[in-house]
Structure 1
Amino acid sequence: MSLQPADKKALTILAAVGAVMVIVIAVATALLVRAMPETDPKISVAAGTEYQQVSPSYWCTLQMDACRPAYLSLEQLAALPVTVFPVPIDESLVLSVPSEIATKPWTLTALYATSRGIQPVTWIKTTGDAYTEILPSTQHRVLLGIEVKPFSAVVEDAPDGLESGQGTIPFRGHYAVDTRPKGFSVTNETVLGEIRGTA
């Protein structure tokens, strides 16, 4: 079967319209994906058979030029709700952070109830593709909660440069988890000086 010139012209027009439609759909899809809000990275916590993913209280770009919600003061941060994930005594909390956090410097602070009082322990982490920390909770050292805070790439209040020892690096995000065992009450609420975690 041979096509008449009119048929060839109609097929050419249909092919051109089809190509234009493909381009329009591709562009519309790209714009739609770009317009969708980014999802904030979540940390994972597990203990025994329980598992939960935790969203940040806030999350900012590395340059702190866009935050969800807006950048918060310490007072506002303290007023935000905390994720509750009880860890029974004599079990361990397994914390995993995603690559969005682990590939840049970040801190982990754990609060423990001891006979002497509440002991904060802080680790300053450098970089790695993924990170998992195991935090035991025992009769003599009960895990009350954790905070994960990734650093930004911004230096504030350092007119002579970071090498001068001046300035601070704000945190770009904040995660808080209350791990207090169900029914547990702190007997000594004295807050002890922060110590540095090892390994």
Structure 2
Amino acid sequence: MDTIAWRDVTDAGEPPPSDDRSTFTLHINGSDRKLTLDHRTTLLDALREHLGLTGAKKGCDHGQCGACTVLVDGRRVNSCLLLAVAQEGAHITTIEGLADGDRLHPLQEAFLERDALQCGYCTPGQICSALGMLDEAADGSPSYVTEPGTAAAGGPVPLDAAEIRERMSGNLCRCGAYPRIVEAIEDVAP
């Protein structure tokens, strides 16, 4: 029987770079964090397992549920599909980086006011996705349900319930809090 060699995770320092590890810096929530990780480490695992930022959740680990959604350079992404080493130089925002001290982000406040959650597992991804979606609509990016010609006009895409539902369709909620999620986003939408 083969024995497995385990690395003591309580070591004070990171192991040195090697053929399968790199040292790089991630800019997360306004701070630079230097890491030495296996090249195959996903951004989600780097956030959760190496940086202690557990807001983004590991749901499906296949980019299908949206529980791991974070913002990379202002765009919403499934962090389970991105390699951490490829994000060097990008500005990453997680749910932990949205509040300003004790003051919640307006989307976080709206989710609380509307009771737009039940178990809360998907909520960080929902909120990060909503923030990215609001920026996309403000930039005039159309969705499948955007009225033809709206985006061509060059202005923001108006957000009604159908538009919000379509744009948030990549974020699943097993509890079914969708009506309240849409209401919370409508409360914050321009």
Question: TM-score scaled by structure 2?
Answer: 0.29
Which is richer in helix?
A: 2
Quick check: which has more Rg, 1 or 2?
1
Point out which structure has higher relative CO (alpha carbons under 8 A, 6+ apart): 1
Which is richer in strand?
A: 1
